[in-house]
Homo-oligomer: A and B are copies of this chain.
Amino acid sequence: MKTIAFSMLAAVLPVVALADPLPSWTESDAKQQIVAFVEAVTDPDGDSYVTPSERIAVFDNDGTLWAEQPVYFQLIFAMDRLAEIAEQDPAILTTPTLQAAAEGDLRAVLEGGHDALIEVVNASHSGDSVEGFQATVANWLETARHPDTDLPYDQMTYQPMVELLRYLRDEDFKTYIVSGGGLHFMRVFAEEAYGIPPEQILGTYGETAYENTGESPVITKAPGVVFIDDKEGKPINIERTIGRRPILAGGNSDGDFAMLEWTTAGDGPRLGILIHHTDADREWAYDRESPIGRLVDGLDKGPDLGWVIVDMANDWSRIYSGAN
């Protein structure tokens, strides 16, 4: 009889956390605000309760879930890939930008701005099937190492954020990536690295073509960017693809401002989280002046909008999932 009574209690009482869900976070305000929010929206007896189907959480990737210095990792892949293609077919390097990229001259590519980035991505990301492209990315992730940390890039994910994603899913949130990075690129590692399946990844995408030339149909990557998932593009893509306004959004740069604004302007309980890169020792320190991950509006307006500003140096006891 005692056993039955205990089972019944367990079924009706909220589950008591047996372990800290966020062990890589220090006991700071940031952690307390996040945990308080999650406990509030999941308490069926509270005023802030949110039904599970509405528990949508969206996160930027570069600089939010993994590192982004000295430049977006996907650009490093693009340059490595271009060099590899050019070994077989040097004629592909038709412009000074492409030549610089294949030589690994990052500064020259960055000086070319947005147009140069698109040019390098087009030349390195198209002309193969989606499956073939993704096998190439997977192979690169196996072998490439970050110039500063010597870690595989997919081990430079932030352990505190991996824990946050898991914590949210344990509390019946649906976790999404909404990133300026490439859709097909991210899908290669996001499920293993973050536990986020392909259908919950939103990103920038290029043209694809459906072709059936005989044996079996194939979807190929063609040149040309269709949609840039950055700035106002983020809430637009969320509305289009998810169709619900998230209740939690995390980002780190002004490219995420509109996504956090859209999320936190909704009715009811909302949480915006901005990762502030303040840790020059363990990671990098950058914000207002950085060409990558520039953060001005979020620092100026975020606090008044109630967003949690995460101070990496202070709030995270560990940085990378891979090592520290």
Q: Is A223 an interface residue (CB 8 A)?
A: no
CA distance A53 to B199 in the complex (A): 10
Chain B residues near A261 (CB-CB < 8 A): 212, 217
Chain B residues near A198 (CB-CB < 8 A): 242-244
Chain B residues near A240 (CB-CB < 8 A): 183, 205, 208
What's the number of copies of this chain in the assembled complex?
Answer: 2
Q: Which of A97-105, A231-239, A283-291 contacts B (4 or more CB under 8 A)?
A: A231-239
- Interface residues in A63-87 (C-beta closer than 8 Å to B): none
* Residue of B197, B216, B244 touching A199 (CB-CB under 8 A): B244
A40 → chain B, closest Cβ, in Å?
A: 22
Instruction: Let me know if B258 and A232 touch, CB within 8 A.
Output: no
- Interface range, A side: 20 to 34
* Residue of B187, B210, B236, B244 touching A262 (CB-CB under 8 A): B210
* Residue of B199, B219, B235, B262 touching A241 (CB-CB under 8 A): B199
Chain B residues near A258 (CB-CB < 8 A): 210, 212, 217
Chain B residues near A241 (CB-CB < 8 A): 199, 241
CA distance A262 to B244 in the complex (A): 29
Instruction: Let me know if B235 and A265 touch, CB within 8 A.
Output: no
Instruction: Let me know if B219 and A236 touch, CB within 8 A.
Output: yes
Which A residues contact B (CB, under 8 angstroms)?
Answer: 53, 130, 174, 183, 187, 197-199, 201, 205, 208-210, 212, 216-217, 219, 232, 235-236, 239-244, 258, 261-262, 265
